[in-house]
Structure 1
Amino acid sequence: MIRDSLKGVRVLDFSHVLAGPVCSMTLADLGAHVVKIEPPGGEIGRQIGPPWQNGVSPAFMSVNRGKYSLAIDLKTDAGRRTIATMVRKADVLIENFRPGVMAAMGLGYDALRAVNPKLVYCSISAFGQRGESTKRPGVDGVIQAVSGLMSTLGTAHGDPLKVPVPVADMMGGYLATIAVLGALHSVRTKGIGQHLDVSLYNSTLMLQQIAFAAFFASGADPEKVGSAAPYACPNEAFRTRDGWMMVVAYHPGRWNALCELLDAPGLETDARFATNDARVHHRAQLHDILDAHFARRSTAEWIDMLSARDILCAPVTTYREVIETTEYRESGIARTVAHPVAGRVRTHGFALGPSDAPAPDETPAPMTGQHTLEMLGFYGIDEDEVAALLNAGVIRASAAHAGTA
């Protein structure tokens, strides 16, 4: 089963906020044993977003399920020595500090490779581990801007827009997961680990590879076309009598069917709209014509009529509407988990398993230091040393019902 595919793989996760936690969460979803290494006060991601009950961050909860929390002060020699000992038994290390920070603490790849030659060490950063840009800070919005993505969003002559979901972070996290899986296979076949360099900048460029291919071919920057696909028409959102819907009818058969449905034979014979290329060129004129037709009926009426003719379509729905749809109910992604502070929380879970598999139970994101003592023992740190670390304030051990959420 896919949920057990990484069973036995040990991951030490030093990452924070988003891209790194997405990677480690996905590895946990695949069965890896993931220990979240965070400072005694908790990682900064715990403070992001409007809080749920008792200050629990929904953003943190959404990307940290299935992990164990070990709270330890890496600014201390004892803390760093403890981590170096744990690395001997680890398979994967994930970090997303600025390049050079881990090395400055004596926890860089070169130092830890000497301790564990089979270690897969994954560094996630804004611009990568080498070159003039390496120390340049960057977050999702900065990456969306500098990668060109923001310049493509919105409508003609409109202000630059940002994808509201953190697409650079999410893409970086998932691509880092792919890189780690490949590196683990290499360890199995060749017996050596490696340092993976995953940058949010490169990840966002990879996300746009079709658009850049078109740019390289034409030399022209992409036009802002709103909800439309730049290469196909009609393939965009239209206003109806009571809302909006997406209509995709650029295929010749579906275009003919749409013209028949609208009872507009002139459209089918109009030279401006005879082919997909022609319709793309005259998109604005066609949009105005179709808008006038679609405004005459409700979204529900149009969806029924279009679907009956195999014309691709969907209502433009809000989140509140999404969670009430048949598609959402059938997706299998919805979960409710019991959190020790926030109570029963609705969230999304892992949704890449076999189609006939029941929805798995999800473990909620841990409290800060919830598993500190357990994880130190799991990695072979003896009880006396653990007690010394606790007495010196190097580690924090919190019960499941206490601590920073």
Structure 2
Amino acid sequence: MSGPLTGIKVLDLTAALSGPVATQWLGDMGADVIKIEPPEGDSIRAMGPARNPGMGAMFLHANRSKRSLVLDLKIPEARAVVLRLAKTADVLITNTRPKALARLGLSYGELKSVNPALVYVSIVGYGSGGPDADKPAYDDLIQAAAGIPSLHGPNDPPRYAPIAIADRVTGICAANAVLGALFHRSRSGEGQMVEVPMLETIASLVLSDHMAGLTFEPALGPAIFQRYVSIRRPFPTRDGSICLMVLTDKQWRSLFRTMGHEDAMEDPRFSTMANRTQNLESLYALVADILEKRGTDEWVALFEAADIPVARLETMDSLMSSAHLSSSGFFESIHHPSEGTIREMKPASTWSLTQPRVTRPTPRLGQHSRDILEEAGYTPKEIEAMFKSGATKE
């Protein structure tokens, strides 16, 4: 079986995280992803523990299913390589600021002139219509600009979400944009440019939950969904913590019955979803008081038997031995040619015909430079001249 994007060539002019996340999705779907890196390599090659320089854990998990080509784009011969590759590419994706690409002669207009059918996806920090369009952007900055650090309890200091959520969500959205643009091209023959701004992407994520009363004009109340901000956290038990998500009247009735407090649903504050929403702090305080009286294992057994949505609170260590993830085949130990045995995560979706998979191990810096240049039609003499000039390396 082959992936759904087999035969699609992607030029990957991205670094750090948002762009590499996007192109890894495309590579797992079978696309031939050519990762174009500067001579010093992607900036995240050194992040996290590593067995060898430039092959850190974070890089390994964002750059599989790709080939690495080193090009020093400050050298004209290297920029010419990008233009030659673009003639036969289907997609170019970048998260370099547009003005910097224009200075290099790699703007959408210039790429379109060599390949009108090219899908050109530009990940930017801030949308081109606003005053911040030229500002640099990183995950922390975009989290801040979208208000994520402020979404904590009133007595908690502002803090970032402890994962690179802005980079990773934007990367997924960029991969989705590629798929939509390719589908349009399959029907029309037309390539196009797509801009995927991080701030607008993450602001829509945040505000979909928290615009609340400001959704309406005039406003029906303030912003912020209070359950998420004030009281959405695991419940302490006698010996640990437990996580519940109870929503419908039926679920709440079953929960209180299982906890031995069925009469709680007779309280007008808790009898309907609308009333519970207005009395969340009192509701959760009651639940917390009850849950502290028994241990986690006992509660989990009771709630699972009653079909009440419940989960244990995992840590990063315990997640690695999750019975469900292990049984579902999520983890896979693979042999990397230079890094030895590493633990990989398979693509999470399951397809009946064109299953995405890891198509290549994460590449070493410049590992495929010579091969890709040969495929592009460069002669051995031309390739050696580029190695000598520093335009490329392996």
Q: Structure 1 length normalisation: TM-score?
A: 0.90
* Matching residue of 1:203: 201
Aligned mate of 2:222, from 199, 215, 220: 220
TM-superposed CA distance for 1:209, in Å, is: 4.7
SS in 1 for 2:381: helix
* Matching residue of 2:37: 38
State the alpha-carbon separation in 1 of the partners of residues 253 and 85 from structure 2. Answer: 65
* Matching residue of 1:29: 28
Change in Cα spacing, 1:29 to 1:228, as seen in structure 2 (3 Å) is farther
* Matching residue of 1:354: 351
TM-superposed CA distance for 1:247, in Å, is: 1.4
* Matching residue of 2:97: 98
State the alpha-carbon separation in 2 of the partners of residues 189 and 88 from structure 1. Answer: 20
Comparing 269-278 with 38-47, greater Cα deviation is found at 269-278
Change in Cα spacing, 1:186 to 1:382, as seen in structure 2 (3 Å) is farther
Q: In 2, are the aligned partners of 1:125 and 1:199 still within 8 Å (CA)?
A: yes
* Matching residue of 2:178: 180
Q: In 2, are the aligned partners of 1:242 and 1:298 still within 8 Å (CA)?
A: yes
SS in 1 for 2:44: helix
Tell me the amino acid that sits aligned with residue 393 of structure 1.
Answer: G
* Matching residue of 1:292: 289
**Deviations along 1:233-288, whole A, 9 cap, x unmatched?**
xx752111111111122311121112222222441222222222222222222222
State the alpha-carbon separation in 2 of the partners of residues 98 and 114 from structure 1. Answer: 20
* Matching residue of 2:323: 326
Q: In 1, are the aligned partners of 2:11 and 2:91 still within 8 Å (CA)?
A: yes
State the alpha-carbon separation in 1 of the partners of residues 353 and 67 from structure 2. Answer: 29
TM-superposed CA distance for 1:179, in Å, is: 0.8
SS in 2 for 1:220: coil
State the alpha-carbon separation in 1 of the partners of residues 257 and 346 from structure 2. Answer: 43
Percent identity for Structure 1 against Structure 2: 32
Tell me the amino acid that sits aligned with residue 170 of structure 1.
Answer: R
State the alpha-carbon separation in 2 of the partners of residues 98 and 369 from structure 1. Answer: 23
The reply on whether 1:315 has 2:312 as its aligned counterpart is yes
Aligned mate of 1:171, from 169, 180, 185: 169
Aligned mate of 1:391, from 367, 388, 391: 388
TM-superposed CA distance for 1:129, in Å, is: 3.5
State the alpha-carbon separation in 2 of the partners of residues 112 and 69 from structure 1. Answer: 21
**Deviations along 1:53-106, whole A, 9 cap, x unmatched?**
233311111110010000111110111112111111111111111221111101
* Matching residue of 2:13: 14
Q: After the TM superposition, which residues 101-180 of structure 1 pair with which residues of structure 2 at under 5 Å, given as runs?
A: 101-152=100-151, 154-180=152-178
Task: In structure 1, list runs of 5 or more residues that go unmatched.
Answer: 230-234, 398-405
SS in 2 for 1:365: coil
State the alpha-carbon separation in 2 of the partners of residues 121 and 211 from structure 1. Answer: 31
Change in Cα spacing, 1:238 to 1:169, as seen in structure 2 (3 Å) is same
Q: After the TM superposition, which residues 251-270 of structure 1 pair with which residues of structure 2 at under 5 Å, given as runs?
A: 251-270=248-267
**Deviations along 1:187-214, whole A, 9 cap, x unmatched?**
2221121111001112112323532552
TM-superposed CA distance for 1:358, in Å, is: 8.6
Change in Cα spacing, 1:311 to 1:236, as seen in structure 2 (3 Å) is farther
Task: In structure 2, list runs of 5 or more residues that go unmatched.
Answer: none
* Matching residue of 1:193: 191
State the alpha-carbon separation in 2 of the partners of residues 337 and 53 from structure 1. Answer: 15
Change in Cα spacing, 1:112 to 1:40, as seen in structure 2 (3 Å) is same
* Matching residue of 2:72: 73
Q: In 2, are the aligned partners of 1:97 and 1:125 still within 8 Å (CA)?
A: yes
**Deviations along 1:272-318, whole A, 9 cap, x unmatched?**
22222222222222222221211121111101101111111111111
Q: In 2, are the aligned partners of 1:86 and 1:380 still within 8 Å (CA)?
A: no
TM-superposed CA distance for 1:140, in Å, is: 0.9
Q: In 1, are the aligned partners of 2:29 and 2:357 still within 8 Å (CA)?
A: no
State the alpha-carbon separation in 2 of the partners of residues 19 and 123 from structure 1. Answer: 11
Tell me the amino acid that sits aligned with residue 51 of structure 1.
Answer: P
Tell me the amino acid that sits aligned with residue 171 of structure 1.
Answer: V
Comparing 273-282 with 8-17, greater Cα deviation is found at 273-282
TM-superposed CA distance for 1:227, in Å, is: 7.2
State the alpha-carbon separation in 2 of the partners of residues 189 and 328 from structure 1. Answer: 39
Comparing 277-286 with 55-64, greater Cα deviation is found at 277-286
* Matching residue of 1:238: 235
Give the count of matched residue pairs. 389
State the alpha-carbon separation in 1 of the partners of residues 285 and 81 from structure 2. Answer: 66
Q: Structure 2 length normalisation: TM-score?
A: 0.92
TM-superposed CA distance for 1:182, in Å, is: 1.1
* Matching residue of 1:338: 335
Change in Cα spacing, 1:97 to 1:361, as seen in structure 2 (3 Å) is closer
SS in 2 for 1:353: coil
State the alpha-carbon separation in 1 of the partners of residues 126 and 229 from structure 2. Answer: 29
State the alpha-carbon separation in 1 of the partners of residues 280 and 99 from structure 2. Answer: 50
Q: In 2, are the aligned partners of 1:228 and 1:237 still within 8 Å (CA)?
A: no
Tell me the amino acid that sits aligned with residue 187 of structure 2.
Answer: T
TM-superposed CA distance for 1:355, in Å, is: 6.6
Comparing 198-207 with 65-74, greater Cα deviation is found at 198-207
The reply on whether 1:283 has 2:280 as its aligned counterpart is yes
Q: In 2, are the aligned partners of 1:155 and 1:225 still within 8 Å (CA)?
A: no
Tell me the amino acid that sits aligned with residue 159 of structure 1.
Answer: P
State the alpha-carbon separation in 2 of the partners of residues 362 and 4 from structure 1. Answer: 9
